[in-house]
Amino acid sequence: MLEGPVQAVLAPGEHRVHNGARQLLGSGRIRRRGPGSVGAASVAAGQGEPGSGSPGQRGHSQARLHSVHPRLCHVGEPRAGPGSPLLSEAVAFAGPGTGGVEQPVLLADLLTELGLGQAQAADAALHLLHLHLQQRDDVALLVELPQQLLRRGARRQRVRVVGGASFQRTFLPYPYRHRQPPGPGPGYHRRGPQLHLHRQVDGLHVLGRAPCRGLGGGAGALSGGGGRSGSSGGGGGGAGAACGPRRLALVDAAQGEDGGHPHQSRPGSGRDVAAAARRAPLRQQPAAFPDVDNDTPRVLLRRVIRNQPQVSPLAPPVADHKETEDAPSEPSSRRTSSMVELQLPDIVPEDTSISTFRMTRSRKKLSISQFERAADKRLPQNQAHSTLDSTLARSLRMSLGSVLAPDTVEKKGLLRRPKNRKAIDIAAFEGGVEQNMQRKAQNYLVDLQTASVIEAATATSDAEIMLNNTELFVQPQSVEQNQKKLSALEPQLSESKTPVQRSEISNATQEEGKLVGRVSSVGTDEGRTRRYSEEELINDGEHVDNMAHVSQKTSANQGEDEQGYSQQSEPMEQLSTSEEVAGTINRWSSSLPSRSSSRSPVILKPRRSFSMSLREVVSRIIEELDVSDKEEEMANAVNEVEQEEISREAMEHHTNAGYSEHLEKKLTEKAESQIIMSPEEEGVAEGSVKHQDSPKPEPEMARSARAGSLSRHSHAFSSFEKSGTKPSEEAVEQADELLEDGAVMGELDGSEEESTEDETEMEGQESEEGSMKTPTFVRAPAYHPLPLLSTPHSAKPAAPASPLQPQQAKPVPKTSRKSQKKKREPALASSYIKQIFRHYAKMPVTRDAYQIIEKCCEKYFKQLSDDLEAYAHHAGRKTVEMADLELLMRR
Amino acid sequence: GMRRSAPRGTLRGLLKSHKPQLRLAAGGDLLVHLNFLMFLHRLAEEARTNAFENKSKTIKPEHTIAAAKVIKHL
């Protein structure tokens, strides 16, 4: 096939040539293959030459043909076709045809005449032209001839090929030329700087390339296109067979592209062809520099798009877009461009975001450790700071409370104090108001009672506290105490000489039964007692009446005053009344002067105010009664009061009845020199305060109490008050009260008689009996002297404070003794723990931290024991084995 | 330095006080002591770390408390 057009191309020319071609063809038909073609070609050439009109030309043409012939033969032979020899001959004819312009046409005509068919003829002519042009390098021919041939109907393909081939041969430099004979096609896409097949415009496809734009844009493109087409047409026969399909493919593609450009006209086909030629290879090869003039905007955009992705590494899809959107061209190109643009900005923010993200990430990563730590610190500190504190505080407090219980009972005492104090303070206000009222009434009584007054001011506060405490403590026991006191009073009354006491007792019971505001009553009683005290100092008989009076008045007062202190005052009043009665009874039995009787009621009723005022009164007493027998008594009374106070404290601390008995005995036994005991009192008081468990303070205090008991009734007042105030703090102090009552009873008895040993012994016996039978009642009188002790005890702040502490500490050591024994034995040595922890910590550790460590250790051991028990129980064993421990350690 | 021997008797007594009905195998108290030492070690380390973070040269109670919270035991 190709040979045919080749031949046709080869034999374009005039009629002569035509004829010659016919001849050739005719001869060629006979001998199509082999040298026959050559001969035909030569014949044609020879004929063509004469056809040209000039024998010279013919000769020339023949010569050309001949020269061309071998090529044709080479080209045609591999693809022997029906018209190959003819074509070769025609080519031979066309070769010499200087009238190249015409010759191809003629040759095509000739070929057509030969019977190739117009298309084939034209193609052959094109081929001839191509070959011819190869030698002649005639651009014009390359451009025009193919066009002419196209008119003839030459296939565009071939025209292209021819044009491309010719173009290549004409324009391409040397190195490319010898490559071209195999075909311009393959060269196109192989070599970058080479010509590119452009889109065909009306059949002309030109391959244009960057270096040859200027020329290639116009004629070169055309020629290239034409040459290519021509060569493609003859490529099958002439140019390399391998290039054929490629060219065809290129051409086809070019054709397809050209199909979309109907607007392009021939005149402008040059440009279009060039552009087309450029576009075609765009797919295969990257476009050359954009040809502003010749390239269409589509092409330009394509190039831009193509180039863009190359520049921006972050838009790989852009290249794909470009390639796929060749057809849509502009809109697609715009899209791609926009895409690229969008992508670029997208990338930018992405970059920034990524960068920022990374930054943040890195920042986070960098500060994670720190942040975590800080967060752990801050969060639990801030958020759960309160909870931490609260929980920790609670835990600590709990632990402290539990852990330190065995160790520091004093702390418990301290802890308790504020609690009580707070509650008391509120009531203190109320009591203080009436206390002031009562002070005046008490002053005189206290003067009578107490001789030595040291520090009333300091004692007042303590006395208040004592009174307050006593009130609280007295509440639960008031009834019992009253009952006991009453019962105790009764035996005492039986012993007593006056039946008036019984009446008084009965009255007292009535009074005790009533819970009334006793402060006012006490106040009134105090006032009365004052007067009575004065009188009593003189007469004992009056004392009885006064007592009766007092009792009656107290009852009346109790009935009147109910609100006052209510809770606080009631116990006070109860005790006061009971103490009153007991005191009165005791006084009666001891046959003391009016002092006791006067003092007792005074002391009994307004305990708070009493303690408050006692000290003041004591001071006044000292001032007023400087010279009197009572001074000694007062001094003794003070000492006794102090002793009683201490003894009372001691007794309060120990709630065992046995202790009470023991104390009573001791009191009775050791009622000798009060002065001797006074120095002991201090030590005893302090010891009682500080010491928790040991019963030592008990005997000591008992001794002091007993020594105090020897004192006169003046002491009884304070002791009574003391006893009343102290037990109010703790419910456990009932026994203490009993003891105190018993002791005070003995004291009162002894003091009344102003006899030391005998009286105390007797009173002690009595008190013992009383305590045996009616411990509370026995105690009741004991309370009275003790409060008195509190007032002169101002010199010893520890003493007033001690009653609180020992009161609080007493039950604690009592209850915790056994627990202490239990816990203290197996308790891990704290020094040991400290040692280990210090070794592990390798840093100095604060003492407070050790407390926490100890607490942690205890918790740990508890957990440990629980876990081991669980493990053993799970295994059905009652003994913890090694396996359990191993399991524990594996956790 | 630390002691050379463990207070076995104390440990047994301690365990008895918590769980009187529970018995302990022959060498069990030693393992208990070992566990106890490790616990203290953990506590000390954690407290030490806390103190370091607090830029303190001594271990304070708050460090210890925080350490105790961290350790799963407590």
pLDDT tens readout for residues B6-42: 888 888 888 888 888 988 888 888 888 999 899 889 8
Of B10, B45, B51, the CB nearest to A826: B10
For the beta carbon of residue A61, count every other beta carbon within 10 angstroms: 37
Whether A847 shows a pLDDT value over 70: the answer reads yes
The answer to whether B2 contacts A377, with C-beta atoms less than 8 Å apart, is: no
User: Which residues, 6 or more positions from A282, have their beta carbon under 8 angstroms from its beta carbon?
Assistant: A196, A299, A302, A303, A306, A326
Indicate the SS3 state at residue A101. coil
The answer to whether B40 contacts A888, with C-beta atoms less than 8 Å apart, is: no
Burial label, A229 (beta-carbon count in 10 A; 0-12, 13-18, 19+): buried
The CA distance from A586 to A607, in Å, is 19
The answer to whether A839 contacts B1, with C-beta atoms less than 8 Å apart, is: yes
Indicate the SS3 state at residue A418. helix
Give the pLDDT band of residue A885 (cuts 50, 70, 90). confident
Whether A86 shows a pLDDT value over 80: the answer reads no
Residues of chain A neighbouring B73 (CB-CB closer than 8 A): 859-860, 863
User: Which residues, 6 or more positions from B45, have their beta carbon under 8 angstroms from its beta carbon?
Assistant: A840, A841
Average pLDDT, whole number, for chain A? Answer: 53
| Between residues B74 and A397, the one the model is more confident about | B74
Helix axes A15-30, A84-94, angle to 10 degrees: 150
Of A822, A827, A880, the CB nearest to B25: A880
The answer to whether A861 contacts B28, with C-beta atoms less than 8 Å apart, is: no
The CA distance from A580 to A525, in Å, is 10
Residue type, A98: T
The answer to whether A889 contacts B31, with C-beta atoms less than 8 Å apart, is: yes
pLDDT digits (tens, 9 = 90+) for A195-216: 444 444 444 444 444 444 444 4
pLDDT digits (tens, 9 = 90+) for A167-192: 555 555 554 445 444 444 444 444 44
Q: Average pLDDT in the A349-355 region?
A: 50
Give the pLDDT band of residue A262 (cuts 50, 70, 90). very low
The answer to whether A849 contacts B14, with C-beta atoms less than 8 Å apart, is: no
In this predicted structure, what is the pLDDT of residue A834?
87
Closest CA to A273 of A211, A215, A190, A326: A215
pLDDT digits (tens, 9 = 90+) for A576-597: 444 454 444 455 445 444 444 4
Supply the Cα-derived Rg of chain A in whole angstroms. Answer: 68
Residues of chain A neighbouring B12 (CB-CB closer than 8 A): 826
Q: Measure in Å the smallest separation between the Cα of A816 and chain B Cα atoms.
A: 15
List phi, psi (to 5°) of A137.
55, 45
Interface probe, candidates B4, B11, B19, chain A, greatest A C-beta count within 10 A: B19
User: Which residues, 6 or more positions from A861, have their beta carbon under 8 angstroms from its beta carbon?
Assistant: A828, B14, B15, B18, B36
Give the pLDDT band of residue A888 (cuts 50, 70, 90). confident
The CA distance from A354 to A688, in Å, is 78
In this predicted structure, what is the pLDDT of residue A227?
45
Give the bridge partners for A160, in sequence order.
A229
List phi, psi (to 5°) of A496.
-65, 165
The answer to whether B14 contacts A827, with C-beta atoms less than 8 Å apart, is: yes
CB contact residues (below 8 A), chain B span 13-72, against chain A = 13-19, 21-25, 27-28, 31-32, 34-41, 43-45, 47-48, 51, 53, 57-61, 63-66, 68-69
The answer to whether A882 contacts B25, with C-beta atoms less than 8 Å apart, is: yes
The answer to whether A865 contacts B19, with C-beta atoms less than 8 Å apart, is: yes
Give the pLDDT band of residue B53 (cuts 50, 70, 90). very high
For the beta carbon of residue A73, count every other beta carbon within 10 angstroms: 21
Indicate the SS3 state at residue B59. strand
* Nearest Cα residue in chain A from B70: A376
Residue identified by tokens 């004052």 is: A530
Q: Are A203 and A195 in contact (CB under 8 A)?
A: no
Closest CA to A66 of A105, A30, A27, A94: A94
Interface probe, candidates A821, A830, A843, A851, chain B, greatest B C-beta count within 10 A: A843
pLDDT digits (tens, 9 = 90+) for A518-570: 444 444 444 444 444 444 444 544 544 544 444 444 444 444 444 444 444 44
The answer to whether A853 contacts B64, with C-beta atoms less than 8 Å apart, is: yes
The CA distance from A790 to A640, in Å, is 10
The CA distance from A324 to A318, in Å, is 10
The answer to whether B15 contacts A860, with C-beta atoms less than 8 Å apart, is: no
Q: What is the pTM of this model?
A: 0.25
Interface probe, candidates A400, A865, A866, A891, chain B, greatest B C-beta count within 10 A: A865
Of B10, B21, B58, the CB nearest to A843: B58
Closest CA to A729 of A809, A790, A615: A809
Length of chain A counted residue by residue = 891
In this predicted structure, what is the pLDDT of residue A840?
86
Closest CA to A741 of A669, A644, A654: A644
ipTM of the complex: 0.95
- Distances A459 to A463, A471, A660, A792, B74 between C-alpha atoms, Å: 6, 17, 27, 8, 49
The CA distance from A701 to A693, in Å, is 14
Indicate the SS3 state at residue A845. strand
Of A377, A853, A881, the CB nearest to B43: A853
The CA distance from A675 to A772, in Å, is 29
Q: Average pLDDT in the A751-763 region?
A: 45
Whether B4 shows a pLDDT value over 50: the answer reads yes
The answer to whether B43 contacts A392, with C-beta atoms less than 8 Å apart, is: no
Q: Average pLDDT in the A773-791 region?
A: 49
Whether A234 shows a pLDDT value over 80: the answer reads no
List phi, psi (to 5°) of A400.
-60, -45
Residues of chain B neighbouring A406 (CB-CB closer than 8 A): none
Q: Measure in Å the smallest separation between the Cα of A395 and chain B Cα atoms.
A: 11
Q: Are A485 and A566 in contact (CB under 8 A)?
A: no
Q: Average pLDDT in the A617-623 region?
A: 62
Residues of chain A neighbouring B19 (CB-CB closer than 8 A): 865-866, 868-869
Closest CA to A505 of A783, A781, A788, A784: A781
Interface probe, candidates B36, B43, B59, chain A, greatest A C-beta count within 10 A: B59
Q: Measure in Å the smallest separation between the Cα of B22 and chain A Cα atoms.
A: 6
- Distances A840 to A168, A849, B39, B54 between C-alpha atoms, Å: 93, 14, 11, 19
| Between residues A860 and A527, the one the model is more confident about | A860
The CA distance from A750 to A537, in Å, is 17
User: Which residues, 6 or more positions from A280, have their beta carbon under 8 angstroms from its beta carbon?
Assistant: A196, A197, A198, A199, A205, A207, A250, A253, A254, A257
The answer to whether A860 contacts B74, with C-beta atoms less than 8 Å apart, is: yes
* Nearest Cα residue in chain A from B34: A889
User: Which residues, 6 or more positions from A367, have their beta carbon under 8 angstroms from its beta carbon?
Assistant: none
The answer to whether B43 contacts A373, with C-beta atoms less than 8 Å apart, is: no
Q: Are A125 and A104 in contact (CB under 8 A)?
A: yes
Of A380, A388, A880, the CB nearest to B22: A880
